[in-house]
Amino acid sequence: MPLAVVILAAGQGKRMRSSLPKVLQPLAGRPLLAHVLETAAALEPAAIHVVYGHGGEVVREQLASAPVNWVRQAEQLGTGHAVLQAAPQLHPDQRVLILYGDVPLISAETLLQLLEGCGPDELALLTVELEDPEGYGRVIRDAHGQVQRIVEEKDASDRQRAINECNTGVMAAPARRLVQWLKQLRNANAQGEYYLTDVIAAAVRDGVAVNPLIADSEEEVQGVNDKVQLSMVEASYRLREAVALMEAGVTVIDPLRLDVRGKVEAGRDVMLDVNVVLEGRVKLGDGVKVGPNCVLRDVEIGAGTEIAANSVLEKSVIGAGARIGPFARIRPDSVLADGVHVGNFVEVKKTRLGAGSKANHLTYLGDAVVGAGVNVGAGTVTCNYDGVNKFVTTIGDGAFIGSGSMLVAPVSIGAGATIGAGSTITSEAPAGKLTLERSRQLTIEDWQRPVRKPKD
């Protein structure tokens, strides 16, 4: 049976106390709903339908590129009513998997296992056993262990509230049957809503098998209703990503202090120190070492490169055997070749540094093309911006740039050239020559430093 996924994402999320719709609250730098969509897409369904409501236009704008069918729930009358809004989009021969935009950690592996229990006359239900089930609907089984129905906590008796097997809301059902059950729902309950959970009792009444699957962990099915729960899910996500990296062979000094906010590809013997943040697509070659408090965003790092503490690298490529930091910033569109050294308080932006070149401290290299084996002294600045336009500085192989030099672009420094310390270079510096620019030094013999007058 082909698969359709319905994601319920219409909740307002009042407990978030935020103007941002609940499903757009960030988890690892992406909206909660984006995580659910990614998992749903991994199942390769025929269609994904997202039921939206509060703040729906904002949700659609932020996730405009997602290949989904948007279904509006104009009135929030319960989860059963929400799924019913998608019913016209469902083909009778499909299996329908129901997910939630605020349950972001559920895995594709669990869902595939759940779907095995769904057929033309079978409904699959994901449940979870909780030490503290307060707030959850309880799964009611008969004396033979067969699921009979789900009772929401507000409608449950004291005896039913003592049950610790709870409903996650995630289920899979044959579309033909599901639509029939949804149309039969009534709102005669404590909240006056059309509960999706009442579908379970309807299935039992019609002789359709209900196949329960108990989730492996509470964290996987944790919903997010407030900022406290959001932080708990964030912590679970961090640990899960850190464990996955460690299982792949990465040394993580403290898995509780690693933030993975994207996709990471790591070679052998990679080491990540504390408080490292990895965003976007990050590729780390064999033997890469990342020091504490570093941020790597959309970067590729070559084998054996070391990133020292407190450095920020984004949208750039670093070669093998390089040394970056501490306190270095590599800005977008930079390419650093093998063996490059970029030291403390050096900023590199849209610049190419050739093999073995060094800028060890207190330097800005922007819009520059730097050859191999170049030494850039402390305090050097490529003056690339005139207030309107950006200009390129070109430095040839083997050049030596003295400390405190201002290279006013557009300007070219020849191969093997030396720039004297403290120079402001505005014209071409020829290859193999010493070029310097300095004012004549003066000493004013009769000058006296101003003295502050005493107060009356």
Q: Do 177 and 120 belong together in one domain?
A: yes
Q: Do 208 and 337 belong together in one domain?
A: no
Is residue 8 in some structural domain?
A: yes
The pLDDT of residue 54 is: 65
Q: Do 144 and 289 belong together in one domain?
A: no
The pLDDT of residue 309 is: 98
pLDDT in tens, 55-104: 688 999 999 999 999 999 988 899 999 999 999 999 999 999 999 999 99
Instruction: From first to last of the 456 residues of the chain, give the pLDDT tens digit.
Output: 899 999 999 987 889 999 899 999 999 999 999 999 999 999 999 999 999 986 688 999 999 999 999 999 988 899 999 999 999 999 999 999 999 999 999 999 999 999 999 999 999 999 999 999 998 999 999 999 999 999 988 889 999 999 999 999 999 999 999 999 999 999 988 788 899 999 999 999 999 999 999 999 999 999 999 999 999 999 999 999 999 999 999 999 999 999 999 999 999 999 999 999 999 999 999 999 999 999 999 999 999 999 999 999 999 999 999 999 999 999 999 999 999 999 999 999 999 999 999 999 999 999 999 999 999 999 999 999 999 999 999 999 999 999 999 999 999 999 999 999 999 999 999 999 999 998 888 999 999 998 988 887
Identify the bridge partners of residue 272 per DSSP, sorted by sequence position: 252, 290
Domain end, chosen from 204, 221, 238, is at: 221
Q: Do 416 and 332 belong together in one domain?
A: yes
The rounded distance, in Å, linking the Cα atoms of 251 and 200 is 46
Q: What is the pTM of this model?
A: 0.89
The rounded distance, in Å, linking the Cα atoms of 97 and 100 is 10
DSSP class of residue 15 equals: G
Instruction: Please state the domain count of the chain.
Output: 2
Q: Do 202 and 238 belong together in one domain?
A: no
Is residue 40 in some structural domain?
A: yes
Domain that holds residue 294: 227-435
Domain end, chosen from 194, 221, 248, is at: 221
Is residue 106 in some structural domain?
A: yes
Q: Do 155 and 15 belong together in one domain?
A: yes
Please, what's the b/e burial string for 2-21 (b: 16 or more CB within 10 A of its CB; e: otherwise)?
A: ebbbbbbbbbebeebeeeeb
Is residue 148 in some structural domain?
A: yes
Q: Do 212 and 236 belong together in one domain?
A: no
The rounded distance, in Å, linking the Cα atoms of 122 and 174 is 7
CATH assignment of the domain containing 366:
2.160.10.10
Parallel/antiparallel/unpaired status of strands 138-141 and 147-151: antiparallel
Is residue 256 in some structural domain?
A: yes
Is residue 455 in some structural domain?
A: no
Pick left, alpha or beta for residue 64 (phi over 0 → left; psi -120 to 50 → alpha; otherwise beta). Answer: alpha
Reading the block at residue 346, the tokens are 């050096």
192: Cβ–Cβ under 8 A, 6 or more apart, which residues?
Answer: none
Q: Do 166 and 271 belong together in one domain?
A: no
Is residue 423 in some structural domain?
A: yes
Domain end, chosen from 166, 197, 221, is at: 221
Q: Do 371 and 246 belong together in one domain?
A: yes
Q: Which of 433, 432, 385, 388 lies closest to 409, judged by CA?
A: 385
Burial class (CB in 10 A: 0-12, 13-18, 19+), 231: exposed
The catalytic residue among 35, 49, 341, 361 is 361
pLDDT in tens, 223-256: 999 999 999 999 999 999 999 999 999 999 999 9
Q: Is 81 a catalytic residue?
A: no
317: Cβ–Cβ under 8 A, 6 or more apart, which residues?
Answer: 299, 300, 334, 335, 336
The rounded distance, in Å, linking the Cα atoms of 166 and 291 is 43
Is residue 69 in some structural domain?
A: yes
Q: Do 28 and 169 belong together in one domain?
A: yes
Determine the 3-state secondary structure of 8 from DSSP.
strand
Q: What is the DSSP string of 396-411?
A: -TT-EE-TT-EEESSE
The rounded distance, in Å, linking the Cα atoms of 278 and 282 is 7
The rounded distance, in Å, linking the Cα atoms of 127 and 130 is 10
Q: Do 41 and 150 belong together in one domain?
A: yes
DSSP class of residue 76 equals: -
Report CA 260 to chain centroid distance, whole Å: 7
Q: Do 70 and 111 belong together in one domain?
A: yes
CATH assignment of the domain containing 35:
3.90.550.10
Asked whether the beta carbons of 325 and 312 are under 8 A apart, the reply is: no
Burial class (CB in 10 A: 0-12, 13-18, 19+), 344: middle
